Amino acid sequence: MTESEGNKNEDCHAANGVKPGRNGMVKNHHHHHQYQKQEKVYNAACNGELYSRPFIESFEETPMLVAVLTYMGYGILTIFGYLRDFMREWKIEKCHIAREREEQKDFVPLYQDFENFYTRNLYMRIRDSWNRPICSVPGATFDLVERSSNDYNWTFEYTGRVVKDVINLGSYNYLGFAENTGACATAAGEVTVKFGVGVASTRQEMGNLDRHEELEKLTASFLGVESAMAFGMGFATNSMNIPVLAGKLNHASLVLGARLSGSTIRVFKHNNMQSLEKLLRDAIINGQPRTHRPWKKILILVEGIYSMEGSIIRLPEVIALKKKYNAYLYLDEAHSIGALGPTGRGVVEYFGLDPKDVDVMMGTFTKSFGAAGGYIGGKKDLIDYLRSHSHSAIYATSMSLPVVEQIITSMKCIMGEDGTTVDPPNRLFSPLPLNQRWQLQQTGSTGPSGPGEVLNMTNMSLTLLG
């Protein structure tokens, strides 16, 4: 995923004298109302009138002084890093890192040279701020295990002291379900007593329990799709299933899954629909490299909320382009499901779209639901295919029943089906009013015929990462 640095089309750099910032935003947010009309003109000109409302998204620009000082700091650290490596090579400075034995010098290195360099000379200086163990529930505050270092962060020793009530700014516990008290904890505890902690088998052998079936039916109902399949690890949901969908068989798991699929990968500019459309058009016109044969399928991979920037995918436009060019859409809702939309059903509900327009809906249970694992939802034919072909389904151990019960209980609470009036905490984003939902214009194309077409394709696919 790359951040858009502006369009190449000079006519789209400004509309009516207003210069937009990233993602089509007017740089001065305080004058939003003044420029709303110009914003609409800009979006229509630069995005082909794929939707009827402007896409308003605000990001704080990095001050120039901060940016310059940051780059200067990296430069100084890099220079001193090379100097210290030179001193370590000549035994002037002691080196604390683990080294390969002499007989292993010819082995393929596990990491690239710069990765090791960065770890030794840059990350080591701030390592005391990261990877710190906690000893309480990851709520709004938690208890931190204190540690100290006597060798400049190469190694740490625990002092035995616990720092109480540290503010939590890095947890995935979006809605507060990852607690040790309440309905979720009680339900998980009861299931643990009845079923135990581990299942000790795969879903295709002896590890398919009734609670797994209920979880998948509930997930499908929550997403508004025909069927759904749950997996024990969110990262593996992408990396192990994209290869199955792509043939040969914007997050790291998406990239890994795309690479493992053996597909040809193209990356379009972040949330830039002109860049995406150009790649789609070029792929259809030029076909495969060397042979120029038509691609059997084109898969667009996007995230609902991009975790690094917090930006929301321009999903209405992506769907319009997907239909226009008969492509497939794989939507990763790891950070948006449960926390976005009027009832927490993610970016599809946020924009008021039809879930059927997304071919593959993926998400994780590790964030909003306070548990572990992931899911894929879509048409029944697609899920049936994954059940018999996915490596995660065939070889991975079934989800632990306490985790399954945690997800079921939290999901029912979000859906309002838990029999109580308790609501999860306020979601991350306020939903759009019903009368302000985005409306896609008719493109005159029905898109791909369905998952059956995915199942019969050979390894001639193009993957577009956003």
pTM: 0.76
Cβ(257)–Cβ(236) below 8 Å: no
Instruction: Report the pLDDT averaged over residues 1-11.
Output: 34
Supply the angle between the helices 401-415 and 183-195 in degrees, to the nearest 10.
150
**Residue 247 pLDDT:** 55
pLDDT band, residue 276 (cuts 50/70/90): very high
What are the structure tokens assigned to 291, written together? 């042979």
Average pLDDT over all residues of the chain: 79
pLDDT at 357 over 60: yes
User: What CATH code is assigned to 183-465?
Assistant: 3.40.640.10
Question: What is the CB neighbour count within 10 angstroms for residue 117?
Answer: 16
Q: Degrees (nearest 5) of the Cα angle 317, 237, 222? A: 65
**Residue 3 pLDDT:** 34
Which 8-state DSSP code applies to residue 307? T
Residue 331 pairs in a beta bridge with 302, 361
**Residue 464 pLDDT:** 60
pLDDT at 441 over 50: no
What are the structure tokens assigned to 337, written together? 């499901």
**Residue 32 pLDDT:** 41
Angstrom distance (rounded) from CA 51 to CA 24: 14
**Residue 330 pLDDT:** 95
Instruction: State the alpha helices, DSSP H only, in 302-350.
Output: 315-324, 347-350
Which 8-state DSSP code applies to residue 41? H
Which of 11-15, 164-168, 186-190, 275-279 has the lowest average pLDDT?
11-15
Angstrom distance (rounded) from CA 432 to CA 419: 27
Over 102-141, what HEC string results?
Answer: HHHCCCCCCCCHHHHHHHHHHHHHHHHHCCCCECCCCCCE
pLDDT tens track for 40-96:
433 433 444 556 667 677 777 889 999 999 999 999 999 999 999 999 889 898 888
pLDDT at 285 over 90: yes
- Which amino acid is located at 41 in the chain? V
Strand, coil or helix: 311: strand
Cβ(280)–Cβ(445) below 8 Å: no
What are the structure tokens assigned to 326, written together? 């008969």
What are the structure tokens assigned to 374, written together? 């992931």
pLDDT tens track for 213-236:
999 999 999 999 999 999 999 888
pLDDT at 381 over 90: yes
Cβ(360)–Cβ(376) below 8 Å: yes
The alpha-carbon radius of gyration of the chain (Å, integer) is 25
Phi/psi at 308 (5° precision): -70, -40
Q: Could you tell me which residues come within 8 angstroms of residue 431 by beta carbon, excluding any fewer than 6 positions away?
A: 340, 341, 342, 349, 350
pLDDT at 458 over 80: no
pLDDT band, residue 101 (cuts 50/70/90): confident
- HSE of 330 in the Cβ direction (CA atoms, 13 Å)? 31
pLDDT band, residue 241 (cuts 50/70/90): confident
What DSSP assignment string belongs to 394-461?
HHSBPPPHHHHHHHHHHHHHHHT-SSS---PSPPSSPPPPGGG---BPP-S------HHHHHT--S-E
**Residue 459 pLDDT:** 32
What are the structure tokens assigned to 265, written together? 């990968």
**Residue 52 pLDDT:** 66
Instruction: Report the pLDDT averaged over residues 254-275.
Output: 74
Angstrom distance (rounded) from CA 227 to CA 188: 24
pLDDT band, residue 393 (cuts 50/70/90): confident
pLDDT tens track for 312-341:
999 999 999 999 999 999 999 999 999 999
Cβ(253)–Cβ(237) below 8 Å: yes
Q: Could you tell me which residues come within 8 angstroms of residue 67 by beta carbon, excluding any fewer than 6 positions away?
A: none
pLDDT at 262 over 70: no
User: Quick one: CA torsion of 133, 139, 143, 148, rounded to 10 degrees?
Assistant: 40
Residue 388 pairs in a beta bridge with none
Phi/psi at 377 (5° precision): -125, 150
Produce one character per residue of 79-92: b if its CB has 16 or more CB atoms within 10 Å, e if not: eebeeeeeeeeeee
Higher pLDDT, 419 or 377: 377
User: Quick one: CA torsion of 190, 194, 195, 197, rounded to 10 degrees?
Assistant: 50
pLDDT band, residue 367 (cuts 50/70/90): very high
Instruction: Report the pLDDT averaged over residues 370-374.
Output: 95
Closest listed residue to residue 39, CA positions, set 6, 61, 59, 16: 16
Closest listed residue to residue 260, CA positions, set 251, 274, 249, 271: 249
pLDDT tens track for 113-172:
787 899 889 999 889 988 899 999 999 999 999 999 998 899 999 999 999 999 998 888
Angstrom distance (rounded) from CA 269 to CA 465: 9
Q: Where exactly are the structural domains of the chain? A: 2-46, 64-129, 183-465
What are the structure tokens assigned to 428, written together? 């991350």
